[in-house]
Structure 1
Amino acid sequence: MFGQGYQFWTKADEDGNFTIDNIRTGEYNIYAWVPGFIGDYKYDVVVNITEGCDINMGDLIYEPLRNGPTLWEIGIPDRTAAEFYIPDPDLKYINKLYVNHPDRYRQYGLWERYADLYPDGDLVFTVGISDYKNDWFFAQVNRKKEDGTYEGTTWQIKFMLRDVDHTGTYTLRLALATAHLAELQVRVNDPKSDPPLFTTGEIGHDNTIARHGIHGLYRLYNIDVAGVELVEGENIIFLTQAMNTDPLQGIMYDYIRLECPPSTSS
């Protein structure tokens, strides 16, 4: 509602039908999202709610974002990082309530386990070989160094291209499940390129990592990758979380997808 910030939520049934009751009088926008699809639906017309009204919205059709065929994807577009690798907790912090529990992420100190698992180098995910359930850490956090300070981390996604459309534009879609005082920088095939191909700037005050959650505010970034940036053979996307002043800064990914230019096969 304009100027007031009221929100009223519901969940559609399996046929897509929904009802929202007891809405305060005012002007509203309608937003929706569908598990399994990236992005948000927004109804183009402001809905005016008056006392006692009954409005049938008819069919609301969402067309998910897509520019071309999928080259590869990592994760499930469900706005959480629950499908990724969640490590066992440090035994000195373990909460027995969440041992063998579906919500494994509700253990204290899991952010420190990243440095235990990747003490000398960062995560490398190879498309077609790696499995995001086992090889993609659920949160991109800082690494604690021996002197007690922290350093940002750079993850790599390696993938092969048989043919490259050098005149076309590829689309990298990065959906984040949460961010806290983070900056995500994206580079392609050059880890030191300055400026990076894309940066979010500083984002997020979700505090999801500290509160042992698995999602916060959803963010979706759609990044154009010029075909001239890619090569036939192995390519690497570098994902750098650049803010490095404390252990709780970081991001959780929801879903990552690389799309070919329109009318291009992989």
Structure 2
Amino acid sequence: MDPPIGFWQITPSTEFRTGGPTKQSLTSHVGPTMLAMFVSAHYSGDDLVPKFRNGEHWKKVFGPVFMYLNSSFYPGDYKLLWDDANVQMQTEVESWPYSFPVSDDFQKSEQRGCVSGRLLVRDRYLDHEDICASSAYIGLALPGEAGSWQRECKGYQFWTKADEKGCFFISNARTGDYNLYAWCPGFIGDYMFDVTLTITPGDVIDLGELVYEPPRDGPTLWEIGIPDRSAKEFYVPDPNPLYINKLYVNHPDKFRQYGLWERYAELYPDNDLIYTVGVSDYTKDWFFAQVTRKGENNTFLPTTWQIKFKLDEVNKNGIYKLRVVVAMSALAEMQVRFNELTVSQPRFSTGLIGKDNAIARHGIHGLYWLFNIDVKSDWLVEGENTIYITQPKCTSPFQGIMYDYIRMEGPPKEDV
């Protein structure tokens, strides 16, 4: 502090990290804690633990990571150190891949390749023209299935963000075989280019225009939230004053506070959450996580949330679709019922899913899950309808689900 000294960790490339651009690693730490972590199961669970069997050969280069120290002669001028570190960060990013590592396993710039193109989104229920995939995350990862990159932990990944026109350029990709993956804020689901790309030294591969058609069967009847792979837009309560972390007071990341799960029962002491479409506001009326409720003798109770909505008429000849996008699950189950809470068997169940543990570790998302539920017309009624979403697993205060986005679609229209 006197004189001010800065100690900074600069990671110029995340190519060696696991789980892609959405992966979190112990971000519950606050204060003077610095972590250079390359492989982690936090906020994801066992899926992100590399597994090796039957004499499998594997090697990978982690880093280098740059440690930067700076200082100032002016006491209290900490922003000067921060600004200087950001300038140094940009210098390191532009210097990647470094030329000084002598290992043959660390590929230099001339040994790598590039991929470019433009991504468009096609959703005829939103626009008759293709939409530019502005700010889409586009990356190369080991061959797999759409979305498999978030559970991939052995290979290298190379990601970039598309510009406002959907154009992208991925530079300095290591040689090897990859699939091109993408996801776009504002749209659900995952895109994957259906041809395996082989990167060789000096390659500049132009894929031209690519089109992603996100899951869609019919027009939107109603929606809750924003499809951004996070529960951040929902209601995050103020923390218990006994546990408050002053670093995150008046901070946009309100979720980085201890004990927020206990606030649910305080806000809903007698009944669980009820959300009425067209009346409720998800920024105020949708709790950021469907958690358990504390009972007597240190036990915990399941919770059932309700979504109420009106239908002027029900199309008896069509199938409706409920799309539930989950941003995090921690040893939880999602059961869905329509207009009948007392029936023993739900219309849909995920089964036990997720070990993300973001509730306990002050996160706002973990792994991404998309569930598409066919809704038969005879499950619905003209007038007021209720969807019941039950999370029945309740042996811990940290079991629960964070939702990203929920959308009800009507039956398909012939003219779209």
Using the size of structure 1 for normalisation, the TM-score is 0.96
Query: Which residue of structure 1 lines up, in the alignment, with residue 383 of structure 2?
Result: 233
- Structure 2 distance, partners of 1:109, 1:37, is 32
2:155 aligned partner, one-letter code: G
* 2:283 partner SS: helix
1:169-193 Cα shifts (integer Å, max 9, x gaps): 1000001111111111111111132
Query: Which residue of structure 1 lines up, in the alignment, with residue 274 of structure 2?
Result: 124
Unaligned runs of 5+ in 2: 1-141, 145-153
The Cα shift of 1:2 comes to 4.6
Query: Which residue of structure 2 lines up, in the alignment, with residue 109 of structure 1?
Result: 259
* 1:22 partner SS: strand
- Structure 2 distance, partners of 1:49, 1:256, is 38
Alignment check: 8 A CA contact 2:235 2:286 kept: yes
User: Do structure 1's residue 191 and structure 2's residue 341 form an aligned pair?
Assistant: yes
Query: Which residue of structure 2 lines up, in the alignment, with residue 255 of structure 1?
Result: 405
2:255 aligned partner, one-letter code: Y
User: Do structure 1's residue 68 and structure 2's residue 212 form an aligned pair?
Assistant: no
Q: RMSD between aligned alpha carbons?
A: 1.4
The Cα shift of 1:263 comes to 2.2
Query: Which residue of structure 2 lines up, in the alignment, with residue 217 of structure 1?
Result: 367
Q: Between Structure 1 and Structure 2, whose CA radius of gyration is higher?
A: 2
Between the two proteins, the alignment pairs up a number of residues equal to 264
Counterparts of residues 32-181 of structure 1 (less than 5 Å):
32-181=182-331
More helix by share: 2
- Structure 2 distance, partners of 1:208, 1:24, is 32
- Structure 2 distance, partners of 1:69, 1:103, is 33
Q: Name which structure has the greater RCO, CA cutoff 8 Å, separation 6+.
A: 1
- Structure 2 distance, partners of 1:60, 1:147, is 57
Query: Which residue of structure 1 lines up, in the alignment, with residue 176 of structure 2?
Result: 26
Decide whether aligned partners of structure 1 residues 229 and 107 sit closer, same or farther in structure 2, where only a CA change above 3 A counts: same
1:78-137 Cα shifts (integer Å, max 9, x gaps): 111111111111111111111111111111000010011112210000111111111000
The Cα shift of 1:152 comes to 1.2
1:197 aligned partner, one-letter code: R
- Structure 1 distance, partners of 2:299, 2:292, is 10
1:220 aligned partner, one-letter code: L
The Cα shift of 1:48 comes to 1.3
- Structure 1 distance, partners of 2:357, 2:351, is 17
- Structure 1 distance, partners of 2:173, 2:341, is 51
1:199-239 Cα shifts (integer Å, max 9, x gaps): 11111111111111111111111100000100011110011
* 2:329 partner SS: strand
The Cα shift of 1:61 comes to 1.1
User: Do structure 1's residue 13 and structure 2's residue 146 form an aligned pair?
Assistant: no
- Structure 1 distance, partners of 2:207, 2:245, is 47
* 2:261 partner SS: helix
* 2:247 partner SS: helix
Unaligned runs of 5+ in 1: none
- Structure 2 distance, partners of 1:221, 1:108, is 30
- Structure 2 distance, partners of 1:213, 1:108, is 10
Alignment check: 8 A CA contact 1:139 1:251 kept: yes
Using the size of structure 2 for normalisation, the TM-score is 0.62
1:212 aligned partner, one-letter code: H
* 1:113 partner SS: helix
- Structure 2 distance, partners of 1:261, 1:159, is 16
The Cα shift of 1:147 comes to 1.7
Alignment check: 8 A CA contact 2:143 2:196 kept: no
Alignment check: 8 A CA contact 1:30 1:42 kept: yes
- Structure 2 distance, partners of 1:170, 1:128, is 19
2:335 aligned partner, one-letter code: Q
Query: Which residue of structure 2 lines up, in the alignment, with residue 245 of structure 1?
Result: 395
The Cα shift of 1:194 comes to 2.9
* 2:266 partner SS: helix
- Structure 1 distance, partners of 2:329, 2:227, is 16
